[in-house]
Amino acid sequence: MTALFSERRRDPERLARPVPALPASMPATIGWIVAAHSEDSAASVMVDFPASPHGPRAARLATPLTPDAIAAAVSNKQPAVLVFESGDPLLPIVVGLISAPMPETKSTIVEADVDGKRVRVVGKDEIVLQCGQASLTLRRNGRIVIRGTYVETHSEGTNRIKGGQVQIN
């Protein structure tokens, strides 16, 4: 292997070939996805970024994104990390999406279809399960509030009510 390396180093043709100049690199930037292409099988989107010389450009995806994730990114103008092929701002590549922290005032509805043996839901201050006029509220201080127009309990065994004090009506 050393002999082969030495021969390559002395190869006059190799030394005569010009070395291509490296392009000036454009750093990664933050942009956003403005539209999605569905014409071809390769995943591509239209992106824009503040320093874009020609407005929105077709970009390739370096990370797989579902059509739903792309649609959400477009509608929310979600920030995306962009790099550029050979440093050319006309050839953007989406490296990933930046998930911005959710504002605390915004209400989020989460749906879950769980097929496991245990489900754990954790809330910082309170968890409320609600359906129509029925609700179950778990509070941080340990208080549990059950509300409904008709509350019923069933037990195959003993149905106990225990507490430091029990009040009925």
pLDDT of 38 reads: 62
pTM of the model: 0.45
Q: Where are the alpha helices (DSSP H) in the chain?
A: 2-9, 12-16, 67-76
7 within domain boundaries? no
State the Cα–Cα distance between residues 130 and 122, nearest whole angstrom: 16
pLDDT of 13 reads: 57
33: domain range?
Answer: 29-97
Total domain count, the chain: 1
Amino acid at 75: S
44 within domain boundaries? yes
Q: What is the pLDDT of residues 24-69, one digit of tens each?
A: 566 788 899 999 876 554 567 999 988 787 889 899 998 888 888 8
The residue with tokens 């994104």 is 65
145 within domain boundaries? no
- The answer to whether residue 147 scores a pLDDT higher than 90 is yes
Provide the 8-state DSSP code for 107: -
C-beta atoms surrounding 70 within 10 Å: 21
52 within domain boundaries? yes
Which comes out higher in pLDDT, residue 143 or 41? 143
105 within domain boundaries? no
Q: Mean pLDDT over residues 146-158, rounded?
A: 92
127 within domain boundaries? no
Q: Give the N- to C-terminal CA distance of the chain in Å, as an integer.
A: 92
Provide the 8-state DSSP code for 92: E
162 within domain boundaries? no
- The answer to whether residue 98 scores a pLDDT higher than 60 is yes
45 within domain boundaries? yes
Q: What is the pLDDT of residues 62-76, one digit of tens each?
A: 888 888 888 888 888
Q: What is the pLDDT of residues 100-126, one digit of tens each?
A: 655 555 556 666 667 767 777 888 889
State the Cα–Cα distance between residues 104 and 166, nearest whole angstrom: 37
